[in-house]
Amino acid sequence: MPSQNPGQLLLVGVPGPELDTATAAKFRQIQPGGFILFGRNIQSPVQLRRLIDDLRDLSAFEPVITIDQEGGRVSRLKLIGSEPPNAQQLKEKNNDALIARHGQLTGDVLRVFGFNLDLCPVLDLSFDDEADNSLRGRCYGNSVAEVVHKAGLFNDALRATGVLSCGKHFPGYASAGLDPHHELPRIERSRELMESQELAVFRSFARSVDSMMIGHIAVSGLDPVNRPASLSPVLIRELLRADMGFEGLVMTDDLDMGAILNHYGFDETMRLGISAGNDFLMICHRIEMASAALRAIDGMGSSLDEPLANVARFKSRLAPPNPFSIEAFKAIDAEIQALRVDVLGAERAAERSPEDGKRSPVELY
């Protein structure tokens, strides 16, 4: 029987590298369906595994434990280890075996710590590899065929390790001129054009990714009401679910982003998120609002039955953590560094992303 606790529909951040008494008590009361970790949660390999074990211990139902571990600048674990190559670097190297190796090593290192979901692959097309936006360096190609092939290699290898995957950012950020971390992008783009480009990629992955992250972007040709995709039943229930046939877990992107905060009230956002067809509402940074989020959706009655069942079905596939040891982590980390050298060459591999070692208040998703 799936849990009827509406807290299972929340994917929440964690304040710091360890659980304080008050936070642990709040999480025990709310029983979030999952936890997402960031740089602020990572200090050392031993500390990270302890934190994840603690989160699992306070959960009555096995929680989703997730992270953004893509490669390059969006690699949370580079704070304690090697930085994997990013999608664009792998694309430019154009070696299928290296992309698959990246997926396998990513899953292996996540299993050591107890993560069971990785928030990737990025399925956005890159229309301009040099564009200074939130997608820079994160895309597997400039064409539908290239993204489908290369992101597919990563996705298959990651899933083979037991770590579940997440396609993002549906229905595609590629042509957005604004960064949704700060403001809601609204673009004029026809359904026909989207079908030939961005949506063609997501259609190809509708049966092969385990979850899908819905982006904060309004596309005129997809929803005439001009709502963010993350709050749009037209895009989630009609396009993604009914038309594309996606049966996996659906989650919002971070609801703490300016794209949402600047336009919607908090309680309204939570209710709209569930009504639109999301199974997970993601609250990454304003963790103190988790209780308010629970109250906002608690009275939605039978509207919660479908997402609760979807979460329970997804959780039935979660892999338990691998045994932890520093030696196991170091062995995999050495392989990740070797992969970096194979992709970039020794000289470039010695250089790290500008964000390396920093715990930025705005971390990309």
Distances (CA, A) of 290 to 15, 74, 138, 306, 314: 12, 25, 30, 21, 22
ω into 169 cis (within 30 of 0): yes
Tell me the per-residue pLDDT of 33-42, one tens digit each, with 9 for 90 and over: 999 999 999 9
- Backbone φ and ψ of 11, nearest 5°: -115, 110
Using alpha carbons, list the distances in angstroms from residue 311 to 214, 249, 307.
16, 7, 6
pLDDT range class, residue 359, cuts 50, 70, 90: very low
Spatial separation of the C-alpha atoms in residues 42 and 78, rounded to whole Å: 10
State whether CATH 3.20.20.300 applies to domain 62-348.
yes
Q: What are phi and psi of 47, to 5 degrees?
A: -60, -40
Share of the chain above pLDDT 90, in %: 78
Q: What is the pLDDT of residue 361?
A: 43
Q: How far is CA 75 from the centre of its chain?
A: 12
Q: Which one, of 119, 150, 107, lies nearest residue 343 by Cα? A: 150
Confidence of residue 264 (pLDDT cuts 50, 70, 90): confident
- The contacts of residue 16 (CB under 8 Å, 6+ apart) are 40, 41
Segment 302-319 mean pLDDT: 97
Residue 139 has pLDDT above 90, yes or no: yes
Range with the poorest average pLDDT among 37-46, 323-332, 342-351: 342-351
**Domain residue ranges of the chain, discontinuous segments joined by +:** 62-348
Cα separation, 219 vs 238, whole angstroms: 15
Distance, in Å, from the CA atom of 36 to the CA atom of 39, rounded to the nearest integer, reads 11
**pTM tops 0.75:** yes
C-alpha to C-alpha distance for 150 and 94, rounded to whole angstroms: 9
Provide the angle, in degrees to the nearest 10, between the axes of the packed helices 266-276 and 290-298.
60
Provide the pLDDT for residue 259: 58
Judge whether 10 and 66 are in contact, CB under 8 Å.
no
Average pLDDT rounded to a whole number, residues 183-208 = 91
Average pLDDT on 117-132 reads: 91
The alpha carbon torsion through 5, 7, 9, 14 (nearest 10 deg) reads -150
Cα–Cα distance measured from residue 144 to residue 200, given in angstroms and rounded to the nearest whole number: 7
Q: How far apart are alpha carbons 85 and 102 in whole angstroms? A: 8
Burial of 14: CB neighbours in 10 Å, binned 0-12, 13-18, 19+: buried
Distance in angstroms (rounded) separating the CA atoms of residues 69 and 162? 15
Query: In this structure, are residues 280 and 253 in contact, taking their beta carbons and an 8 Å threshold?
Result: no
